[in-house]
Structure 1
């Protein structure tokens, strides 16, 4: 009778320990996927094929590297316990949007990297809590517009990368609060120099030329002229910008408004994400692939605990049998 009972107990203990290691561990030393340095407080989870952020990142982490993974979305509370972070890298992922409040607890953050994702827009005030930020990279995304006031609280910001996006304009005054800026990358955007809205950016570049580096590289759509060279005569149109990449002059809007509803053509709807079209959904938990296998040290620790537990069970059974 003792054999089957002991086997069942061992199986339950082993299963429980394995699940705990797979779901709870973050650092390799505990059986997780990330490399953690206790002295420098660095956690490196880059290039691990992650589809979700590990849930048990140490709360005293200073630098968190999550670049070169397969993250397509973030939980609004993904970083809420990490108020010691000064460096956060989310570059080279598949992020399509940022939830409201996702960075609200990162009050010590100095550098934020969001380069090379698929961001098309930003939530209003998404960076408001990052008052110590000195470096922000949003380059190589698909940003079509920026919310008004999105940078208003970043008075310590020195470097801002907005290059290689789909920006045609910026809201008036968007850079006025950035009193510490030394570098701004604006090139490789289709800046619309036919609309009056471009004049704020053109005048700002002209004013900051020589004190903020790289801004002269911004060119009008088609590369025919630098943005800083645009005059009021050239930017004569009053344009509106719906949630598409094409500007529509106000004369067209007026014509459409005066027509019957049945005559108004439908505006093109952006194509849904291709992965969603195929029915593909990212899991919201850590992958259970080889990257989640326990390290040797974790395995040895688990086996030691199993041996001790088994010995305790055998002692109890022997004691009951004698009684």
Structure 2
């Protein structure tokens, strides 16, 4: 009768191992890679060379640290179920894009750290559900522009860092809803001016970092900023005197109307077609218009073609394959153990 007993024990062991593998344990105490603190509801997965977010992060987690890994992309459902999370740290990864809706379930989030990544753009509405956010770090990325209204829902934001990106311009009204903002950093971008009225609604601003940007003090577009900075300097706003003109080294707040007399037009994301070309095309017959080659990528954009949101990287594929192989092996061994038990029970 020892045969069925041994088989039953083997079945229990294999079943336990299979369940553990299927759950993908997160914390070290469960055989995972992260450190969990039950008292503070904190999960620390920093510096683990992760290429994918660990599965089964406890749903009551308050603070999730994923900094210093090798995350290059996130699945759209990466943080679903973590509606009690207040602090998410993704600092120092390799993120190039963010899928739309990836933060939509983080309705309690207070701090979001996305600095030191490789983000080149932000999807429209990416922060719309983060209505309790007070700090947003986007510095040290590759952002060239910001979507219209990207911060409109962040009415409780007090700290916003956009320094060390490649911003060439700001959308009109981009800061209009940030009436609680106290610190704003735009350092080390490629800004030549700001839209008229850009800072008018920053009624609680205490510190504003604007250096070094190539501020163009020869164009009258700079006059709004110069007058606003001069007024705020008298009110004691910190950092206003750090903005210097690209040429001459003069402080922007000291620029006069005589010095900034030119009407300047800066290149935008779209390129205007010269009127001479439009006139020529309008007066020509269809047969006379030369056929212009269209690059394949431009043709795809014209048709509305888009790349998939998330393609797994090679390490993620290997992790998935190894996981499936382990799962299949567990199922095979479990089935064998069950047959073994049945065989001995019949003999008994």
Whether TM exceeds 0.5 here: the answer is yes
**Is 2:86 the counterpart of 1:43?**
no
1:161-240 matched pairs, under 5 angstroms: 161-210=185-234, 211-222=236-247, 224-240=249-265
Classify the secondary structure of the residue corresponding to 1:209: helix
Classify the secondary structure of the residue corresponding to 1:88: strand
Contact preservation (8 Å) 1:155, 1:180: yes
State the 1:215 CA deviation: 1.1
Q: Which runs of 5+ in 2 are unaligned?
A: 5-9, 42-61, 281-296, 298-307, 321-326
Q: Take 1:32 and 1:287, find their aligned partners in 2: how far apart are those partners?
A: 21
State the 1:43 CA deviation: 0.7
Corresponding residue of 1:63: 87
- What CA deviation, in whole Å up to 9, does each residue of 1:236-290 have, x standing for no partner? 111112226xxx9xxxx99x54x44599xxxxxxxx9xxxxxxxx996448747x
- What CA deviation, in whole Å up to 9, does each residue of 1:195-249 have, x standing for no partner? 11000000000000042101111011135211011111111111112226xxx9x
TM-score normalised over the length of structure 1: 0.73
Q: Take 1:30 and 1:191, find their aligned partners in 2: how far apart are those partners?
A: 55
Classify the secondary structure of the residue corresponding to 2:108: coil
Q: Take 1:287 and 1:223, find their aligned partners in 2: how far apart are those partners?
A: 51
Q: Take 2:150 and 2:254, find their aligned partners in 1: how far apart are those partners?
A: 32
Q: Take 1:123 and 1:26, find their aligned partners in 2: how far apart are those partners?
A: 35
Q: Take 2:33 and 2:265, find their aligned partners in 1: how far apart are those partners?
A: 48
Greater RCO, 1 or 2 (C-alpha within 8 Å, sep 6+)? 1
Cα-Cα RMSD: 4.1
**Is 2:103 the counterpart of 1:82?**
no
- CA change 1:32–1:135 in 2 (3 A) is farther
Contact preservation (8 Å) 1:36, 1:44: no
Higher-Rg structure is 2
Aligned residues: 280
State the 1:50 CA deviation: 0.9
**Is 2:133 the counterpart of 1:114?**
no
TM-score normalised over the length of structure 2: 0.68
Corresponding residue of 1:297: none
**Is 2:149 the counterpart of 1:125?**
yes
